[in-house]
Structure 1
Amino acid sequence: MISRDEALARARDWAAAGRPGGTPDVELYEFDLGWVASRTEPQPTDPTRPPASTGSPTLVVDRRTGEVSQWPSLSAPDIAARYAAHRAAEGRFPDDVRQVLEQAGWYPGRDVRAAVDHWLSRFAAELDGLDCPPTARAALDEFGGLRLPQFGLYDDSTGGVNLGGGFTSHLHPTQGGVTTEAARVFAEEHDNPVFPIGNNEDGPAEIVVDADGRVFMLHWADDFYLGPDIDTALVNLVRGGRLPEADDLEW
């Protein structure tokens, strides 16, 4: 547990990094989990001229650990809310997968429902006859629009796996359109309606979810089971590897 004075000292070190001259002034916003710090920019000498720059990153100093992390240029209450959600979601995804998700633009509490509404309206004709269950809508609202690279196979030259060495997944809304033929065939064969939530470059293949939250990848070679929920499916999509066939499930 650190004090406010300790948090202020760390924030001042951060604010001064890479800047000539004296230590800039820093404002602290206190909340339950720590402090949000932002630089106090000097008033312009000529208010009629535009500022040299607009917006600057902010810092969060964790009250319990003293750990510092940089955040975008948002209001202090917004950053505090995001940080609280970030901490609450710890353990939801493995570290390697969470890093990929965050680099793609995901964060706890992410909500792109407006974009999803537009996508559903734009492709209403293509999606006609397919019900969008709450499980699919929740997945789209939180993860829609993300482009998720996949780790490739083990690389002897690097002694590890390379991100981007596998097949990338794109979650709707995407830049392209939407195909539903495989989803309709799958629903008929298994008497289990599904709704498209994305695609994978292997094949390419459709990523679909059913009313129970189970996620499948419909590939031209076979239909594969990605997991019982969207979180498990995302882990499997990012990490890659062998997947069980949908036919092996007990329906």
Structure 2
Amino acid sequence: MPDHPLSTTRFPVAVDAALRDAGWQPGRWDMRLAERWADTLRAHVSPGGHRHAVFPAAVEAWAEFGALHITPPGPGRQTAPTALRLDPLAGLHLARTLSDLGRALDTEIAPLGEEGEAQAVLAIDTEGRVYSVDHTGDWYLGPDLDQALITLVNGNQPARLTTS
């Protein structure tokens, strides 16, 4: 058990502090909110007939981190970090975009939230890998949400996805 109530071994200190300032704590779990979002996403159909994928990795991410507004504490290492809002409804109208990304990656993709004021949509795949989609392209943020949060909050340079 950590000695200090604000310390943890799960996240680096600055990321942990930003998450706690946003209202996260170990054991946080709001399954009712996650299920409400899942129902809303499942019910949404784009004008072109595209639907959102909903799967356990996404629902679990929403339950633990959903509704958080995370403000990075510093200038960032390689990039200027922006505030994050973890709310999958930020990607409600991007069913086709996320479906196309999932098809390109041979997986399903669900919305996770957004960076800044709708500067980029955050998304998660069935394995828990996290991506960012913005006007410049598609970015790989990490193999799981923890690593993605570290990348985003610390301003680490994400890897650009390329098509072969």
Deviation readout 1:54-88 (Å, 9 max, x if unpaired): xxxxxxxx9xx6x7x6xxxxxxxxxxxxxxxx88x
In the alignment, the residues of structure 1 paired with residue 36 and residue 93 of structure 2 have an alpha-carbon distance, to the nearest angstrom, of 17
Deviation readout 1:208-229 (Å, 9 max, x if unpaired): 1111111111112110010001
1:240 counterpart = 2:155: yes
The aligned runs of 1:95-174 (5 Å cut-off) are 95-126=13-44, 129-153=51-75, 166-172=81-87
Deviation readout 1:16-55 (Å, 9 max, x if unpaired): xxxxxxxxxxxxxxxxx8xxxxxxxxxxxxxxxxxxxxxx
Deviation readout 1:136-156 (Å, 9 max, x if unpaired): 1111110000011234537xx
The aligned runs of 1:1-251 (5 Å cut-off) are 90-126=8-44, 129-153=51-75, 166-172=81-87, 178-180=92-94, 181-201=96-116, 204-247=119-162
CA shift, 1:204, in A, is 1.7
Larger RCO (CA under 8 A, 6+ residues apart): 2
In the alignment, the residues of structure 2 paired with residue 173 and residue 215 of structure 1 have an alpha-carbon distance, to the nearest angstrom, of 13
Q: Is the 8 A contact 1:170 1:198 kept in 2?
A: yes
Q: Is the 8 A contact 1:135 1:210 kept in 2?
A: yes
In the alignment, the residues of structure 2 paired with residue 102 and residue 171 of structure 1 have an alpha-carbon distance, to the nearest angstrom, of 14
In the alignment, the residues of structure 2 paired with residue 168 and residue 203 of structure 1 have an alpha-carbon distance, to the nearest angstrom, of 10
SS of 1:145's partner is: coil
CA shift, 1:110, in A, is 0.4
SS of 1:242's partner is: coil
Measured at CA, do residues 133 and 118 of structure 1 come closer, stay the same or move farther in structure 2, by a change above 3 Å?
Answer: closer
* Larger Rg over CA atoms: 1
* TM-score between the two structures when normalised by the length of structure 2: 0.80
More strand by share: 1
Deviation readout 1:185-242 (Å, 9 max, x if unpaired): 2123333221111111276211111111111111121100100011000111111132
Unaligned runs of 5+ in 1: 1-32, 34-61, 70-85, 155-160
In the alignment, the residues of structure 2 paired with residue 188 and residue 210 of structure 1 have an alpha-carbon distance, to the nearest angstrom, of 11
CA shift, 1:177, in A, is 6.7
Q: Is the 8 A contact 1:168 1:200 kept in 2?
A: yes
AA in 2 matched with 1:178: L
SS of 2:53's partner is: coil
